[in-house]
Homo-oligomer: A and B are copies of this chain.
């Protein structure tokens, strides 16, 4: 079932391979490439919807695995769906729970699905393609994901090959089970770091003619070079006129490398998670705000950033908040980190439009990595 109200238009491709497009969803337009902040349990950690809107976030990600456990998909459905429940009226995407379930110890996999106990609360549960899609239909996000087997890293060629059959059969069943024309079901490519398996896995997914495709099974510990290698051969096999989503990525470096390889969408808990532990992203690299060097620092966190945090507070104040364990530290840090990621994508889109993405990436990374490099000599003294 192809959704009525979902479309993707590819505007241009930069010489590097980076793509500039627009997605249309029932809850609004998304300019790509885009980073999607993660609000796992129908809540962005430490941010209100208003604050999230102020960061210019276009689309929010949530998770079927967590929401089915608490408060339950039925409950969310009764409240008019995820958008109404959490008060976010923009585009939304839910993950299928595949990644979460396959990360659990003690899961039992059969051809039909997976039986497992929830890490939180211990409730015994079953997920299958049909159940995951039913949950996601009830949650009502604009984009929903196929229930796949996310293969761990490292995995043997043989295991990865066998698992592809499960993933493609499950993708077929997901499409068959999907009931809502206002939701776009994306397929997920697996195949690990094996080029021929990525090709073998993508073929049946492409045959399903889904409205978008994700690259799964990366960001599982394989490292940046392996990720780049896998993307180098995988994105070329993906349909040109459909959005490409790299799941669970990542650092600012990861994101720029992925965009250069033709990825349109990414998500990660990193900006909010790091913000809660006082690590904040800036154009001159990551700063750990609890460090004593910031105690007297009168500068704004990130020169040139115009987020609420940077416009109103000094690094010294943020240092004070983090070292005093004030919740406000996590709030102001999350506002900045999410804004930083969103702004990175805004700048990326502009660079693609102006056909200068590679030089933008190089310039960004030169500045971003400078601080780390300049610190090394100090340690040797």
Contact = CB atoms under 8 A, between A and B. Distances in A.
A328 B295 contact: no
A5 to B, nearest CB: 25
A323 interface: yes
Given A87-B312, A317-B86, A75 B324 contact: no
A347 interface: no
Interface in A328-364: 328, 330-332
Contacts of A70: 320, 323-324
Interface in A148-186: none
Of A71, A321, A330, chain B has the most CB atoms within 10 Å of the CB of: A71
Contacts of A274: none
A325 to B, nearest CB: 9
B328 A79 contact: no
A317 B323 CA distance: 31
A374 interface: no
A228 to B, nearest CB: 34
Nearest to A70: B324
A328 B87 contact: no
A295 B331 contact: no
Interface string A75-117: 1001100000111000000000000000000000000000000
Contact of A328 (B44, B71, B316): B44
Contact of A317 (B85, B308, B331): B85
A291 to B, nearest CB: 14
Interface in A229-250: none
A290 to B, nearest CB: 12
A331 B332 CA distance: 12
B308 A50 contact: yes
Interface residues of A, number: 40
A49 interface: yes
How many protomers of this protein does the assembly include? 2
Contacts of A326: 41, 43, 45
A314 interface: yes
A47 to B, nearest CB: 7
B45 A327 contact: yes
A276 B45 CA distance: 15
B324 A48 contact: no
Interface string A291-333: 0000110100000000010001110110111011011101110
Contacts of A295: 71, 75
A320 B46 CA distance: 15
Q: Top 3 closest A-B pairs, CB basis?
A: A46-B327, A43-B326, A43-B328
24 contacts: A41-B320, A41-B326, A42-B317, A43-B321, A43-B326, A43-B328, A44-B328, A45-B328, A46-B327, A46-B328, A46-B331, A47-B328, A48-B51, A48-B308, A50-B308, A70-B320, A71-B316, A75-B296, A75-B316, A79-B317, A85-B314, A85-B316, A276-B327, A327-B330
Interface of A: 41-51, 70-71, 75, 78-79, 85-87, 276, 295-296, 298, 308, 312-314, 316-317, 319-321, 323-324, 326-328, 330-332
Given A41-B324, A45-B328, A75-B296, 18 more contacts: A43-B320, A43-B321, A44-B328, A45-B327, A46-B328, A48-B308, A48-B331, A50-B308, A70-B320, A70-B323, A71-B295, A71-B319, A75-B295, A78-B296, A79-B317, A85-B320, A86-B317, A327-B327
